[in-house]
């Protein structure tokens, strides 16, 4: 049966600090390992006052250091922000410190705004070099080449598994062409999910890393004792998503009893469409919703996400998520 993993954005809740967020991430990771999650992924974002995972490779190393067996990785590193050699050195170092436990998911979007890209000393180039950059990065992580003038040290020979991330057909086509596993960002952009999976599987070409397609689907989970409590947890992410669309960056808002009291209905409706790949409510409700999503899209792996304001409620939500996945037949890592 399909494995289940966890995507954490290290949210900074209103009233808390980045230090709190990082401590919460380490705490959640330890629990996630106990609950059988296969992977614990962190995502690169910059200039976001509500997200503490900007230095993604450093945080991956921290999470790996407080866990023992669970895979830890990037979901993902936004490759346009970095030189492939530096990413290879960072993840080669991680793989050397934590052998057999590191994943490298790569995204094509910058994950930030124009001024921040300039501050990163990167700019949107007219030509799209993402496929070439991915190939270069894989080469640095591959077998040692004595003739190579530039080598990643540590890095060469580590063969860190590389994933392609995406929310459109572009990533699906590239992952299939390179024979890499593919993770779709259905937790916030579900519209092209079905078509992307179909294109990826139909055009997949086996590679040294992967002999058959492996497609991961991201699903938000807001689980609690009751349906009403789960729906209340989700209101934090609804507000954060609406604020981001409106250009209002800030910490993760506190949940509210009535989302209509803080956001107009058309805004809520638009956000809910983007968050339609979600399971919200009591365990029985979450089980039915997860089962339906898995049956409809047939992923090879599920990665659960969800920004929740209260750290204790977040831990409980992911505990329920693991329990439900096991009830649906998923085998714990």
Q: What pLDDT is attached to residue 123? A: 56
Helix (H, G, I), strand (E, B) or coil at 57: helix
H-helix or E-strand containing 87? helix 84-97
d(CA 254, CA 271): 17
pLDDT at site 78: 93
The per-residue pLDDT for 95 is 98
Distance CA 89, CA 278 (A): 36
Choose the CATH number for 4-226+278-327 among 3.40.50.300, 3.30.460.80, 3.40.190.10, 3.20.20.30.
Answer: 3.20.20.30
Token readout for 220 is: 């938000």
Residue ranges per domain, the chain? Answer: 4-226+278-327
* pLDDT score recorded for residue 109: 76
Q: Which pTM does this prediction carry? A: 0.95
Task: Kindly provide the b/e burial profile for residues 1-32, where b requires at least 16 CB atoms within 10 angstroms of the residue's own CB.
Answer: ebbbbbbbbbbbbeebeeeebbebbeebbbbb
Q: What is the pLDDT along the chain (333 residues), one digit of tens a residue?
A: 799 999 999 999 999 999 999 999 999 999 999 999 999 999 999 999 999 999 999 999 999 999 999 999 999 999 999 999 999 999 999 999 999 999 999 999 765 666 766 776 665 555 678 999 999 999 999 998 888 999 999 999 999 999 999 999 999 999 999 999 999 999 999 999 999 999 999 999 999 999 999 999 999 999 999 999 999 999 999 999 999 999 888 999 999 999 999 999 999 999 999 999 999 999 999 999 999 999 999 999 999 999 999 999 999 999 999 999 999 999 898
CA angle, 303 then 329 then 213, to 5°: 50
Q: Annotate 297-326 with b (16+ C-beta within 10 A) or e (fewer).
A: bebbbbbbbbbbbebebbbbbbbbbbbbbe
Q: Which of 37, 102, 107 is nearest to 65 (CA)?
A: 102
């Amino acid at each position: 049966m399909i494995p289940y993993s966890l995507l954490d954005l290290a949210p900074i809740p209103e009233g808390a600090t980045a230090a709190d967020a990082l401590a919460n991430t380490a705490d959640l990771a330890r629990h996630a390992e106990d609950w059988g999650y296969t992977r614990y992924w962190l995502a690169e974002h910059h200039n976001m006052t509500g997200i503490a995972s900007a230095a993604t490779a450093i945080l991956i190393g921290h999470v790996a250091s407080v866990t023992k067996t669970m895979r830890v990785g990037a979901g993902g590193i936004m490759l346009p922000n970095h030189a492939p050699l530096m990413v290879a050195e960072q993840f080669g170092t991680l793989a050397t410190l934590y052998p057999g436990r590191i994943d490298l998911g790569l995204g094509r979007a910058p994950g930030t705004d124009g001024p921040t890209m300039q501050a990163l000393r990167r700019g949107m180039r007219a030509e799209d070099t993402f496929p070439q950059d991915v190939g270069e990065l894989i080469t640095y992580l591959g077998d040692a080449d004595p003739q190579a003038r530039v080598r990643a040290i540590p890095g060469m020979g580590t063969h860190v598994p590389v994933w392609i991330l995406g929310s459109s057909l572009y990533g699906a086509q590239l992952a299939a062409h390179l024979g890499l596993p593919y993770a779709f960002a259905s937790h916030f952009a579900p519209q092209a999910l079905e078509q992307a999976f179909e294109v990826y599987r139909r055009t997949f070409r086996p590679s040294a890393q992967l002999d058959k397609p492996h497609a991961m689907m991201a699903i938000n989970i807001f689980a609690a004792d009751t349906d009403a409590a789960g729906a209340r947890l989700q209101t934090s992410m609804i507000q954060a998503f609406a604020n981001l669309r409106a250009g209002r960056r800030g910490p993760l808002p506190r949940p509210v009893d009535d989302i209509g009291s803080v956001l107009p209905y058309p805004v809520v409706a638009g956000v809910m469409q983007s968050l339609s790949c979600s399971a919200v409510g009591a365990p029985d409700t979450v089980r039915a919703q997860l089962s339906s999503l898995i049956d409809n899209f047939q992923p090879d792996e599920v990665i659960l996400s969800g920004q929740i304001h209260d750290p204790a409620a977040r831990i409980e939500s992911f505990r329920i998520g693991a329990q439900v996945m096991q009830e649906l037949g998923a085998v714990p890592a």
